[in-house]
Structure 1
């Protein structure tokens, strides 16, 4: 029997935390609410979670700092909660490794959809979802293992990737030598959405270049096509 999804919610507003918790419970998702970073750390030390929902406006250690710290310590997917006026915080959150964001006030059905989308993107793919078991991509000595969701550098070292970074690299590997617009990349990695996610693709591209390019300022693989988007300019083979 598949264990239920378990989500840790870091939210200092008790009403919002309870609302999210009750709504997700109605959809067979277990939750625990932590009001601050200290309570979150205690929750992590006593249990395992499939996803973290993180409010940015928290007392004590703020959400951006928590996001940076959690991403450096764990591979757990992160969805940040942010106010409508905090566009810069959305971008910063994505730069620090968050996989998605949702704006307050939010629709509960949208939150559930975002959770499911992030979990789908970060779970281990298998034959059931249409991808071949063991599928991998090879380019210039790099190996992108779709089954294990691992990226291995030419030197043999595994390169840590967030779920969003891996999905973007996967999309590029599936479409080498093809100019992809930001909108196309959004649809391939996040699904249709609105807001500053077009800018988030630029953030993800920058993060990915830092990890796979010898000189991120003069990229050999992920090249910008002015006024159009990006192109993955390297030969890609399937293994």
Structure 2
């Protein structure tokens, strides 16, 4: 039996539980999510295979996950570049941005040029809470991501995809299927349309919270914050 997926409604409810009965702060959850993403990127291609990482961040928590991942990637020996056209207003995003600037990690306003120079891309634009129509500047960015030959790793959801219904039938993202996906906490229903390498990150759920949402999570190896899943949603051996 395939691993149970988590709807957008339940994903939001689970996050609230983590920050109430679970005792986590938003900062902690974002740090753990970004750490998981960074480990997936490393698993896909170490710095020896290509150091230049373009991290594309949206204005919400998904973008914050990308900012955290970029910091970890810098410490692993990569050379991240950040494209962050609409910075989030929460002071947390400001602190994450300051951390990157203190490491002299560059922020770019020229996405097309940065994409041409990149060995990998992290798509941290939209997460499980996305719905509706993609607007500029992200519609053009997603068009470029779906047409690039550069490997793309999406955070929790390929940006523009509906969490329940997968890729849009037309417009930006309709043919976007990234190289890799890092599902956070648990896979979402959209994974049935995904065809790349699939990782699960979120090694922080208590047994009680996992049981509440009917989640049977795979065992993580050693100190890994991610586990690779097969097409059946189970741990890949």
TM range (shorter): 0.3 to 0.5
Higher share in strand = 1
Q: TM-score, normalised by structure 2?
A: 0.35
Bigger RCO (CA 8 Å, 6+ sep): 2
- Taking structure 1 as the reference length, the TM-score comes to 0.35
Q: Which has the larger radius of gyration?
A: 1
